[in-house]
Every structure is written in structure tokens, then in C-alpha cells.
Structure 1
Amino acid sequence: MSAGTVTVSSSRQSSHRVAALARAEGILLWRNRLALLNAVILPAALVGSLKSFGGLGASGAHDFGAMLLTGLTAFALLIAVYYNLVTAMVARREELVLKRLRTGEATDGEILAGTAAPAIAIAWAQIAVAAVAAVAVLGLNPPANAALVPVALILGTAVFVLLAAVTAAVTRTVQLAQVTTMPALWLPLVFSGLLFPLAMLPEPLRWVAEALPLTPVMELMRLALTGTTAAGGHHLGLAASFGAAAAPVLVLAAWTIAGAWAARRWFRWEPRR
């Protein structure tokens, strides 16, 4: 058997293990109706509340459909991915599920990927439905740079999955997740540019806001959908939008590297007792 055949076979087996774990996690999520409600309904409800209070209009963008889709992306990553995963990881750890899984063939990465897959699927499905609705109902214009949408989603999802793993490491119980997740839920949201333009902030604070994990996702979505920047709302051409996307991509890459290191260093597989 050649090395290439062994590699393909190993990759296929890994995919099967992740898919099996994802199916099991999806069944558990379906049975936990409160968690399912939080994942499916809460992001849309929060976006609706921002619309009612005029929050989404604070960005200055001209296309309300794009603003709505950008806002839903933020809440899908924060609630459906980050918060749901923290509670799921803590619950599986305290119930010794993670410890038992490590005694089998699945690697640590496969276990975390299988655990995260249902939450990611829900978040991406919400964003896809919102995109269709924005086009059909709100008349969303064709994206200025569609290539940046998957970049924003993939990097943003990776960052918040890793942040969930790090937060789960310091969360003793599922109930405490409501407390330990607060900083990563609200600080990135408040300073993401969704509630008010970042240009209103003094320069040092604006630099801090731009370095938070949600802000570059919002910037990439804004560039992708409208071709405008957060600073000044200038319209850019296709080539210029790729140049403007470099900074937020680098910020997300830095968060991904730091999150992967922290999760590998501090994630706990056994109950915190």
C-alpha cells in the first residue's frame, strides 16, 4: 500500500469519526430545547431589537439588507457558536463524555471538531437564510467582493470556536457559563462597529476596538457586501477591497493562532474538582 493511499484512508477515517461525533452532538443539542432555542431564535431576535432601536443604522451603510446580514453574522458567531459551545464543552466535560472519548481512536482535534460541528452548522444556516431573505425581501445588492464572505465566516468561526474552548477551561459548571462568557460576548459586540461608528472613538481606543475578535469579521463582511470601510465609509473597487481586507485578516489570523495555543495549553478534559 502506497503512502498516498494510507494518507487518503486515514483522512477518510478521520472524517467519519468527526461526522459520527457531530451526529451524536446534534442529537444532544436537539434534545436540549433551551440550547436549541438560544442557538436558533436568539440571534434573530437580537438583530430585530437592534433594528427597533436603530442600532444597525449606526454604521452609516446605505444598504439595510447588508447591515441586517452583517448583524446576524455577529450574533450567530457570538450566540450559536461561542456561547452554545462553551455550555456544550463544559457539560460534556463534567459528564465525563470528553474523558471517555479520549480513550477511543478519535484525536483531541477530532473530538473538538465533532462537538463544534452542529453549532457551526446552525450558525452558517442562519446566515445563509438571512442572505436569501435579504436578497428576496430587502433587495440586497450583489456583493462588492463575494470572495471575502467565506474568509470572514471561516476565520470568524475558527476564532470563536477556539475562544469557546479557552472559556470552557475556566468555567466550572454550565450555570457559571453565563458569567464567564460575558466579557467575550459583550465587549467585542459593543466595539464591533455595529452599535456606533468606530470613528467616534478616540484613536487609542479605536485601535483596541479594531483588535477585538468580532470587529475584523464585521469589517470583512462590510467590505464584501457593500465595498465600504468602517473608517469614513469610503467605497472601494474590487482590487482596493482586497487591500483593505489585509488588516482584518491578519487580526483574525493572530486570534486563531493565539486561541489554538491557549486551547491546547489550558483546555481541560476532566471535571474541575
Structure 2
Amino acid sequence: MTAPATTTSGGGLVRRLGLGPVSLRRIGALGRAEMALLLRNRTAAATALLLPLATVALFATFVTADGHVSTGALLATTMFGFLLLYVVYYNLVTTYVARREERVLKRLRTGVVTDVEILVGTAVPALALALAQVLLTVVAATVFFGLPVPVNLPLLLVAMLAGCAVFVLLAVASSGVTRTVETAQITTMPVLILSMIGSGVTGSVDSLPDGLARVFQMLPLTPVLELVRLGWVGTTGADAPRDFVGVLAEAGRPALIVLLWLAVGVSATRRWFRWDTRR
């Protein structure tokens, strides 16, 4: 058993990474415990299960195809965006804050579980729910809107995994500047609102000035959805669809931005994440 941690800042995040491989068994055990707690919390469960579905269902009543992107693909990618924002990001911010203030994170660190296992295990339920809802959305969009077969499935899967990683890291970092579960509604607002507006999930950004549009392209959700759409239909909407190889050339810029956000997320986590209570 390792000694209790004395560092409460994010700098201790890599304290035990070199002591051995990550244990999937321990991550699975933590994930099952977190899933049970999530389903018992009606507010958190409703946010994770109902809010994204209800939001996209509302959008489905008036959304139309965007350029070369079909209605089915637009709805599916929009759903993925809301899942990243609500199920992964917002839900995990409140979860990490709650576990920190209950001193659960600090107690876990006194055992054999490593820091990475704690953070990943806590995120497992949110990621599992997001994946399940993505699959349901794909089935529904295929049946009702004729969602096409992905043009580049590897790119699509990598984009989804990278998007999940980015917003898990942002959630971990945001929890460090969030004092209570209640204040998470305030601290997460900039990421939620700017991501929704900048990625175009709440409406087209084509009418915005070029300078502002370029800024929005640098936000975390925008390049993720661009990569998802490229992998699915071979275009982001403005240009004609490309084939399996053709989309790779278009994927370079958004992929680079995603990598930058992964680096930002790791740096912000190490700087701001806290293991001990803020009280």
C-alpha cells in the first residue's frame, strides 16, 4: 500500500505513473461503483440520459441538411457534440468535484490505485453512456434519415476517441477551479456556450465575420465534429464529399487543433486539478 498523498495540487498527478502498468481490473471496479452512484442520482442521471436526447429531438423538428451533409449525418454529429458537452464534460466536472469534496479521491490515493486509474475509472460511466447513446443515435438516424455508411471509419473512430479524451481532460481541469457541485453550472458555462456556438450545433456560423469564424475553429468541439463529419460523409458541408484517402488531406488542420487541445488539457489538469477538498 502506498503512502497517503500530501500534495493537493495537480502537480502530483503523475506521482505514481512509473510504478507499474494501468490495471483494467481496478479501473473496471471503480467504473462499476461510479455507475451505481450515477444511476442513484436522479439529477445527474437525467442530465446524462435525457438532456442530450431531448435537445437533439428538438433540433430534429427544424434542422435541414447543411450543404453536402445529409440531415441524418447532421443530427448524428450534433448528438455527439451534445454528448461530449453534457454527458462527458459537465457530468464529469460535477462528479470529480463531488468525490473530491467527499474526500473519496483522497482516500483512494492511499491505496494501490494509481492516479490515472482513479481519474479514468471515475470517467468510465460517462464514457459508456455517451457511447451507448451514440450507437442509439446512429441506429435512429440510419432508420429514419438514411444515414450513409462512413467514408473513413478509422478516422471517425479516432475522432470520437480523441473528442472523449479532450473533454475528459477539460472536465478534470475544470473541477479544480470549481468549489462545489452547485457552482459547476457557472464554471462550465464558458466551455458549454462557446463550444455550442462555435461548432455550429446551435446554428450555422457561415454568416459570422471571418475573424470570429477562425477563432471558433480553434475551440475544442469544432475540430472534433469536423473530423467526425469528414470520417462519416467525407465533408464538413462546404465542399463536395471526398473518398477514403481524400478526407485525410482535409483532416490535417482539425487533427492538429485536437492534438493542441489534448496538450492543453494535460497541462491544465496538472496545473489546476486538486485531490483534496477546497473547504
Give yes or no for TM over 0.5: yes
Q: Which residue of 2 aligns with 1:190?
A: 197
Over 4 Å off, 4+ runs: none
Alpha-carbon distance between aligned partners in 2 of 1:122 and 1:101, rounded to the nearest angstrom: 24
**Letter of the 2:35 counterpart:** G
Name the structure with the higher helix share: 1
Q: Over residues 44-85 of structure 1, what are the superposed CA-to-partner deviations in whole Å (9 max), with x where a residue is unaligned?
A: 111122223x3x437334411111100110011000100100
The partner residue of 2:153 within 146, 151, 173 is 146
Matches within 5 A, 1:126-205: 126-205=133-212
Matches within 5 A, 1:51-90: 51-52=60-61, 54=62, 56-57=63-64, 59-90=66-97
The partner residue of 1:23 within 12, 26, 32 is 32
Using structure 1 for the length normalisation, give the TM-score. Answer: 0.91
**Letter of the 2:132 counterpart:** A
**How much is the aligned-residue C-alpha RMSD, in angstroms?**
1.7
Q: Percent identity?
A: 48
**Letter of the 1:242 counterpart:** L
**Structure 2 unaligned spans of 5+:** 1-19
Alpha-carbon distance between aligned partners in 1 of 2:52 and 2:236, rounded to the nearest angstrom: 24
C-alpha contact (below 8 Å) 1:59/1:195 kept by paired residues: no
Partner secondary structure for residue 255 of structure 1? helix
Partner secondary structure for residue 270 of structure 1? coil
C-alpha contact (below 8 Å) 1:58/1:196 kept by paired residues: no
**Letter of the 1:32 counterpart:** N
Deviation at 1:241, TM superposition (A): 0.4
Alpha-carbon distance between aligned partners in 1 of 2:148 and 2:162, rounded to the nearest angstrom: 24
Task: Report how many aligned residue pairs link the two structures.
Answer: 261
Deviation at 1:234, TM superposition (A): 2.6
C-alpha contact (below 8 Å) 1:58/1:195 kept by paired residues: no
Say whether 1:269 aligns with 2:278.
Answer: no
Say whether 1:247 aligns with 2:256.
Answer: no
Deviation at 1:196, TM superposition (A): 3.3
Deviation at 1:238, TM superposition (A): 2.1
Q: Which residue of 2 aligns with 1:234?
A: 240
Distance 1:17 1:62, change over 3 A: closer
Partner secondary structure for residue 238 of structure 1? coil
